[in-house]
Structure 1
Amino acid sequence: MIHFRYHLISLAAVFIALGVGILLGGTAGHNWFSWGEKEVLANMSAKYDRALKSNQELKQQMNRLHVEVERNKEEVVHLMALRYAHELKGSKVFIWQEKEGSLERITRLLQSVGVEVAALQEESFPPDGLLLIYADKHPEWLIGRGNNNRVLLVKQEPDSVAKQWALLENVQKLLAETRGVREKG
């Protein structure tokens, strides 16, 4: 049987060890933990500063590229105007629209090369000029009227420079064919 003295001595040893551990942990360990915490915070702060600087540089680069793209678009519009202004200036294009949406981009594009743009009321075919239809298919009122060689169907508004160039090419081609038919007749 174990004496009460051994229990008392082991219990006192546990409390002494606990006290020494608290004393050492509170003084010596605190500096080590605080130093590690400061190092982690300094690393995180440095990474944040680098990311912030990189973000600002990317914004500046995006702004420069945006300005350059806008300048290039202006140059392309100028080139289109030079290319088609001679052939299209003074021509008349009537626009009939079935789809919802704005035809601002098409109108501005045609006007930039000197084309006169006019809205067309339903079922009135233009006596002269080209008919540009903004719809998914030819309207019922147009079928069987003839003069389909003066009709250009546009299903989607040209949202890129290449599509705008293609639209002007088609308008120029149809107007040239119309002039050729008039000259022969």
Structure 2
Amino acid sequence: MIPFRYHLISLAAIFVALGVGILLGGTAGHSWITQGTKGILSNMEAKYDRALKSNHELRQQINRLLKEVARSNQEVVQLMSIRYVDELAGSKVYVWQEDGNVAEQITQLMHSVGMEVISYHEGNNWGDGVLLVVARQVPLWLREKQVNSWIHVVDVPDSPAKQWALLEQVQNRLAERKGSREKS
């Protein structure tokens, strides 16, 4: 059996070695740790500065591209108005939306080709124009009406291609209605 005094001496030696290790590690390794930390921090700061600069450049590029897109959209709207103004100017378009508000994009689009935009309320007459129904689903009160007198628009046209397609549909419906009136 090992006497208690050897246990006590070995325990004391462990604590003395631990203290000496902490002292040596704290004083001798301090400059090495500090230099390594400073190097890591300077690398991280340099990467952060590069990322900020890149982010700023990308924002400027996005702003330039957005301006170009807006300019292109204006040119397309002008082309649409030239294309459809003779046929649609003076016509009326009635707009019904689920939330009750007429979308600004639709109003601007129709005004750009000379059409009059009228907010439609259920039960009114739209015999002198075309009804645009802006809704996910066609309302029940409209399902009994003739299909060639109204147009179902699921989403407000937000791109020039969708706006062009909507104007084409409006033009076709007005031409169909005019042709059916002339036949009767």
Per the shorter chain, which TM-score range?
0.7 to 0.9
Contact 1:137 1:155 (C-alpha < 8 Å) held by counterparts: no
Partner of 1:3: none
Q: CA RMSD in A?
A: 3.1
Structure 1 unaligned segments of length 5 or more: list them.
1-10
SS of alignment partner, residue 151 of structure 2: strand
**How far apart are the structure 2 equivalents of 1:172 and 1:49?**
55
Give the Cα–Cα distance (whole angstroms) in 1 for the partners of residues 47 and 159 of structure 2.
40
1:61 aligns with 61
- 1:58 is displaced (CA, Å) by 1.0
Q: Distance in 1 between matches of 2:49 and 2:59?
A: 15
Identity over the aligned pairs, expressed in percent?
A: 53
Q: State the distance in 2 between where 1:139 and 1:26 align.
A: 82
When the two structures are aligned, how many residues end up with a matched partner?
172
Change over 3 Å in CA distance of 1:35–1:140 after alignment to 2:
closer
Q: Give how far 1:141 is off.
A: 6.0
* Secondary structure of residue in 2 paired with 1:140: helix
- Structure of higher CA gyration radius: 1
> Match for residue 47 of structure 2?
47
Could you say if the C-alpha distance between residues 27 and 91 of structure 1 is closer, same or farther in structure 2, counting changes exceeding 3 Å? same
Q: Which runs of 5+ in 2 are unaligned?
A: 1-11
1:77, distance to aligned residue in structure 2 (A): 1.1
Change (3 A) 1:15 1:111: closer
CA deviations on 1:89-122 (whole Å, 9 max, x unpaired) are 111122233x115322212211111011122332
Residues 51-75 of structure 1 show CA distances to partners (whole Å, capped at 9, x for unaligned) of 1111111111111111111111111
Say if 1:95 and 1:132, in contact at 8 Å, map to a contact too. Answer: yes
Alignment correspondent of 2:111: 111
What one-letter code is carried by the residue in structure 1 that aligns with 2:141? E
**TM-score normalised by structure 2 residue count:** 0.76
1:31–1:177 Cα change, 3 Å? same
Residues 89 and 115 of structure 1 are in contact (CA less than 8 Å); yes or no, is this contact kept in structure 2? Answer: yes
**Given the two structures, how large is their TM-score scaled by the length of structure 1?**
0.76
Task: Say if 1:171 and 1:66 are closer, same or farther in 2 by CA, change over 3 A.
Answer: same
